Structure 1
Amino acid sequence: RQRELTLQRQRDLGVVPPEAELAPWAEGVPHWDDLSDNQRRLSARFMETFAAFTEHADVQVGRFVDALEELGELDNTLFLYILGDNGASGEGGIEGTIVEHRLGHGVVDDPDEMIDHLDEIGGPLSYPIAPAGWALALNTPYQWTKQVASHFGGTRDGMILHWPRGVPERGGLRHQFSHVIDVLPTILDCAGIPAPFSVDGVPQQPIEGTSMQHTLTDPQASEHRRTQYFEMCGNRGIYHNGWMAVTRHGIPWEMVPDKDRRFTDDVWELYDIDHDWSQARDLAAEHPEKLRRLQDLFLIEAAKYQVFPLDDRVTERENPAMAGRIDLLGERTSITYRAGMRRFTEETTLNVKNRSHSITADVDLPDTDTHGVIISQGGRFGGWSLYVTDGRPAYAYNYFGMNLYTVRGDEPLTPGRHEIRLEFDYDGGGLGKGGTAVLLVNGEKHASGRVARTIPYYFSFDETLDVGVDLSTPVTDDYPALDNEFTGTIHTVRIDLDDPIAASSEYDGGLHRRVMGAQ
């Protein structure tokens, strides 16, 4: 019912043609009437949270617009507001999740357990994504969601362009097929700036987009973008002169698939976009030759723009050791940090996942009440921390906010200079296995404990490795979310990786899966 209401409003506004239809609902996703009471309460809360975020973002954009107006520059500013970087996300899965990274690793939240955390959703104790059903509703009138580059539910976003001095028309609509790569050429064109051939002596790749400026003054202007390929995680499509051939390869919330999917088994669909705005009517059976020509065109465009080889992995690609892609640190197995070094993303520091490693800190304690974080990575929703609490050394490993494994020394440290070392002995035998954490001070064992499970692919998209503090959310509640800086002196902190685990098909960078999937 919500999709029907939304579509009618879209028709009334003119942002879709009057004849636009609702595309099919994704198979396997329940409708509202199919949900249990707990699922409905959770779904409502998830969407309330999303609505609040959207309102907050809108207010901030409004502040920016107001500032431009106060400066007298709003009418002379080319303002482009793209309503999303993709379609609404279905990565919350059927149930939704209160911690995004769980589902990304194949851990599904139970609604009958999530309901106990209902009031936390949207607050600092949650990292939520709404159920896929909401994503489908938000992507009205299209099919599917983010990741599904084959269908408009995954790719088509509205764009607002405001430039009174260049476009005197108010409230006009444009429906020419355009792509995000056309935005930069449009800005350059409007500003009268040529595309650079070289920047600081570095030759630039050619800009592949096409300016949309010609449509700003002429609503009936012809389309300059005749052809455009799409591909993400094996989902792929090709647009050409009003027709589109597409094939969905995966399901967005199955980010750690339990079986290989062959690209040759994918089923292609065909849509006449000029007469079927929302990809609602598949014409593949009626026009097999046109479908074949578009499939061939996809191969040409994909080869031209380095799409091949196709790679249908999702979460696995976050870990360079698993993905078989370039690691910024190369073959380095040791790195030393100093006090005040902060905000290292996972791509810019050593990868401690799925292997044994050690963390060695050279610190000075001014007194027995010294406390705070020596080094941390990640936060409340996944990560680890080496710290001092009540004068005692401690190590915490946070498994997606579900389990917290803590090892603490029994005795407070004496004032003075100490070497605090954490040795993590990984069990091996696969990804995300457990290990034993041992705390040593000046070479003597102070405590040890088990970490039953570890995070195999990534700790966080936005939290970082920090020395002397745990920024953003805390790994553990042993110290406060704010004011958790180490009160002693940190000379150095060194991370060392042990020898990599013996090679297997799980550690070949996905080569086996890619080769077999391409046959």
Structure 2
Amino acid sequence: MKLSYVSRPSIILMLSIASGAYAQYSPQHSSGGKIGTTLSQTVVTPAPFNPVAPAGAPNIIYIMLDDVGWGASSAFGGLVQTPVFDSLANNGLRYTNFHTTAICSPTRASLLTGRNHHSVNVPTVIDAAVNIPGHNGYMPFEKGTIAEILREDGYNTYAVGKWHVTPSPDLTPAGPFNRWPTGRGFDSFFGFMAGETDQYTPALWENTVKVEPDLQGKHLTTVLVDKAISYIAGQHSAAPDKPFFLYFTPGATHGPHQVDKKWIDQYKGKFDAGWDVYREQVLARQKALGLVPSDVTLPPRNPGVKPWASLSATEQKVFARFFEVYAGFLSHTDYDVGRLVNYLRDTKQLDNTLIVLIIGDNGASKEGGLSGHVHGINEYIDGSLFAENYDSRIKEIDSLYDKIGSPESGPNYPVGWAQAANTPFRYLKQDANSEGGTRNPLVLFYPKLIKKGGIRTQYSHVNSVTPTVLDIAGLKIPKVINGYPQDSLEGVSLAYTISNATVPGRHHVQYYEIAGSRSVYKDGWKAAVSHKRGTPFTTDTWELYNLNVDFNEQHDLAASNPAKLKELQQLFDTEAWKYKVYPLLGDTTRLTPAILTRGPLDSRATAVLYPGITQVPTRSAPFLSEQSFIIKADVELTDAKNEGVLLSVGGRFSGFTFFVQDGKLKAVHNNNGKFTDLTSTKALPSGNVVLRYELKYAPAQRLTDPAGTEALYINDEKVAERAITKADATISPYDEGLDVGRDQGSAVSPLYRSPYNFTGKLHQVEIIHPSQNPSL
């Protein structure tokens, strides 16, 4: 099957560019009837004003999970029961040589566009985009998304779940919104914009509007499936012959690993034998399923991972609990996806629905470190996971054993379990040099075309999914979308493999790169280099593997075949220049705010914020981490009992809050569940008052090192001061954003309950960066 293209008049192109239009193409049509002077003298005939899909065009669903790992789900030999995924795989095609980019945003950008991730300016997580070509996070409109293409082909389009490909500067109430989901081809969006969110107090948007739905105790995945079904139900009721496209990307199983206790309890004691036994059992299952060659052996443990038998009883207890929680989370996700599949079956839509199931957007996550964590991803981001005493961490995790997996925790398992979930591969998420970072399960399910289950081993990449779907469905790619001439797709369609399991692969070359770790594949050969962030690239050592005979990269051939290594190194260089991979990130240059893409709030020396602004993502808000800043709140205190939050950033696992309580001014730091606070020595007066917080940062190395001071002021009178550590000054919470006049979502401090709205009159809040403000 060949992809075809549709041209549009050049006048439409010029008008669209001149007007900045993003509307769906819908030209005026001439009447096919007869026009008279009165209606009785007129013949009225139907006229299609909007694109109409080809007769019989299939519904299309992309389902992509997060951070799962190749050997987690039972569909690919894992010990976590996923009967819905098993059923889709048994009645569809399993692709065992499918690859992602090794981290979330680039995989999503590649999936949506059918191009390489640097080609669409998404080199790593969108939050760390750098203001240079290939790296700035702004996906070009000349590289349309699958939703933009399908909408022009007559589809309704819905995105539900994780997005994480809108540039941070655009994630403010001012937009612009043309790179939000509804600006990139989706009729409707319901989900979260960041890399992760809490499963019980999520930061959600509907279209471009911030919403704080009452989940009524429901898990986020359940709510997302409910929303997806409601979109489909409305569409199918109004236009039963019109196909839909659903992009369904729940936060599962990215941290925080949270799920109802009944799902965790199903796995109680099931992983007590540990990760070494898990890997052995899973490899045997994978061989029995025909997913890996019969001669594959397990690679060594990843660096730092201990033999399970050498762990203390406490380590084994808490580590097993981490994986019980994770398994429950994955099984729950499978169950909820099953509700979606069953709905389609019940409404007689399933037979003509093409489902693309990608079980993970990269390898299993290393973000739990050697010990795992319970207070959220900031333990990984701020480095406390690696800086704190290991034995003390294990003792604290043990004290919270019963809370692991509950809404009161923000867990991620230790890397020993991550490698187990990646069986039979070595290395993990972010490792673009390894199969462990980039190989993920892919399932194609389409009853109308695929009549019998099977396994396909042809090499493929996430950039090939969109070309495959368009090819199978016989759909057209417009030459122009919303006024933008379209560049060609870069992936290679897998449609040729559907009817022939043994046909030679057609995807011959593919590069990989995340933060300096990189590799290049050519016809079974792979050159790769693992790069340690913060070190010069001159110290990197390349490795060489023949994947045709070495399934999971255990035999480095660099020394014995230098000619092949040189050939592939030169090929990487060619691909890197072609797709804007250069310059490589991850060397000794720090990704400081000065070189990141910056928006209207984090690029000004002084930002004035007003009550009502809520949940602005941390990277899109004024930057507060590891630098001096001043917060000035202009308030009117009308009652001695006035209380509430003036400004907060973050939530119950990490953050900072500035508030009034019990007639005093207060500031609290939440450093991964450890609290430090400052309270004014004087009571607040009534009337118009300027309340000020000031942090003076002195650069420090370790989180426990002294790092300056913080102080509180009432009308320029200092009323409290204390010395701070670097941990106090590291204010960069990820899951929850910045609020003014309240603390939406979960509470930063246990001293109050959210949203703790300020009950006085808050006129405005200023955030001032003295280093950028010459007048100070």
Does residue 397 (structure 1) correspond to residue 669 (structure 2)? The answer is yes
| Contact 2:305–2:416 (8 Å) recurs in 1 | yes
* Alpha-carbon distance in 2 for matches of 1:467, 1:314: 36
Compared CA separation, residues 4 and 443, structure 1 to 2 (3 A): same
* Alpha-carbon distance in 1 for matches of 2:743, 2:588: 28
Query: Could you tell me which of 257, 262, 278 is aligned with 2:552?
Result: 278
Structure 1 counterpart of 2:47: none
Partner amino acid for 1:486?
F
Q: How does 1:2-401 map to 2 (within 5 A)?
A: 2-99=278-375, 100-107=377-384, 108=386, 109=388, 110=390, 111-169=394-452, 171-250=453-532, 261-312=535-586, 317=591, 319-321=592-594, 324-329=595-600, 331-401=603-673
Q: CA deviation at 1:27?
A: 3.7
Structure 2 counterpart of 1:425: 696
Structure 2 counterpart of 1:497: 769
Q: CA deviation at 1:429?
A: 5.9
Partner amino acid for 1:185?
P
Partner amino acid for 2:433?
S
Structure 1 counterpart of 2:271: none
Partner amino acid for 2:695?
F
* Alpha-carbon distance in 2 for matches of 1:23, 1:238: 21
Q: CA deviation at 1:494?
A: 1.7
Partner amino acid for 2:470?
L
Q: CA deviation at 1:398?
A: 2.1
Partner amino acid for 1:119?
D
* Alpha-carbon distance in 1 for matches of 2:720, 2:536: 49
Give deviations 1:351-384, integer Å, cap 9, x for gaps. 1222221112223444322222222111233221
Does residue 450 (structure 1) correspond to residue 723 (structure 2)? The answer is yes
* Alpha-carbon distance in 2 for matches of 1:484, 1:115: 32
Using the size of structure 2 for normalisation, the TM-score is 0.59
Q: CA deviation at 1:411?
A: 4.8
| Contact 1:397–1:451 (8 Å) recurs in 2 | no
Query: Could you tell me which of 403, 407, 432 is aligned with 2:678?
Result: 407
| Contact 1:383–1:397 (8 Å) recurs in 2 | yes
* Alpha-carbon distance in 2 for matches of 1:234, 1:154: 14
Compared CA separation, residues 398 and 224, structure 1 to 2 (3 A): same
* Alpha-carbon distance in 1 for matches of 2:300, 2:353: 40
* Alpha-carbon distance in 2 for matches of 1:361, 1:303: 49
* Alpha-carbon distance in 2 for matches of 1:393, 1:355: 22
* Alpha-carbon distance in 2 for matches of 1:72, 1:442: 68
Partner amino acid for 2:424?
P
Partner amino acid for 1:390?
D
Structure 2 counterpart of 1:505: none
* Alpha-carbon distance in 1 for matches of 2:347, 2:768: 53
Partner amino acid for 2:411?
P
| Higher RCO (CA-CA < 8 Å; seq separation 6+) | 2
| Contact 2:707–2:729 (8 Å) recurs in 1 | no
Give deviations 1:241-276, integer Å, cap 9, x for gaps. 1111222223xxxxxx6xx53433333222222222
Does residue 474 (structure 1) correspond to residue 747 (structure 2)? The answer is yes
Partner amino acid for 2:597?
I
SS at match of 2:304: coil
* Alpha-carbon distance in 2 for matches of 1:459, 1:380: 13
Query: Could you tell me which of 736, 741, 765 is aligned with 1:463?
Result: 736
Q: Which runs of 5+ in 1 are unaligned?
A: 251-256, 503-519
| Contact 2:744–2:755 (8 Å) recurs in 1 | no
Q: CA deviation at 1:466?
A: 1.3
* Alpha-carbon distance in 1 for matches of 2:344, 2:570: 48
SS at match of 1:126: coil
The alignment's C-alpha RMSD in Å is: 2.7
Q: CA deviation at 1:448?
A: 2.9
Q: CA deviation at 1:6?
A: 0.5
| Contact 2:700–2:726 (8 Å) recurs in 1 | no
* Alpha-carbon distance in 2 for matches of 1:121, 1:376: 26
Compared CA separation, residues 27 and 427, structure 1 to 2 (3 A): closer
* Alpha-carbon distance in 1 for matches of 2:627, 2:503: 58
Compared CA separation, residues 412 and 73, structure 1 to 2 (3 A): farther
SS at match of 1:45: helix
* Alpha-carbon distance in 1 for matches of 2:479, 2:696: 51
Compared CA separation, residues 391 and 76, structure 1 to 2 (3 A): farther
Percent identity, please: 37
SS at match of 1:60: helix
Compared CA separation, residues 314 and 415, structure 1 to 2 (3 A): farther
Partner amino acid for 1:186?
T
* Alpha-carbon distance in 2 for matches of 1:27, 1:428: 31
Compared CA separation, residues 344 and 163, structure 1 to 2 (3 A): same
| Contact 1:399–1:453 (8 Å) recurs in 2 | no
Q: CA deviation at 1:301?
A: 1.0
Compared CA separation, residues 397 and 296, structure 1 to 2 (3 A): same
Using the size of structure 1 for normalisation, the TM-score is 0.86
* Alpha-carbon distance in 2 for matches of 1:135, 1:246: 21
| Contact 2:511–2:575 (8 Å) recurs in 1 | yes
* Alpha-carbon distance in 1 for matches of 2:711, 2:727: 16
Partner amino acid for 2:614?
R
* Alpha-carbon distance in 1 for matches of 2:486, 2:632: 43
SS at match of 1:69: helix
* Alpha-carbon distance in 2 for matches of 1:410, 1:63: 57
Structure 1 counterpart of 2:714: 441
* Alpha-carbon distance in 1 for matches of 2:565, 2:472: 37
* Alpha-carbon distance in 2 for matches of 1:230, 1:472: 37
* Alpha-carbon distance in 1 for matches of 2:342, 2:302: 41
| Contact 1:328–1:347 (8 Å) recurs in 2 | no
Compared CA separation, residues 364 and 456, structure 1 to 2 (3 A): closer
Q: CA deviation at 1:56?
A: 2.3
SS at match of 1:75: helix
| Contact 1:354–1:431 (8 Å) recurs in 2 | no
Moved more, 61-70 or 194-203: 194-203
Give deviations 1:53-75, integer Å, cap 9, x for gaps. 21222222122222323332222
| Contact 2:364–2:437 (8 Å) recurs in 1 | yes
Compared CA separation, residues 420 and 67, structure 1 to 2 (3 A): farther
Give deviations 1:328-366, integer Å, cap 9, x for gaps. 246411112222111211221111222221112223444
SS at match of 2:678: strand
* Alpha-carbon distance in 1 for matches of 2:656, 2:589: 20
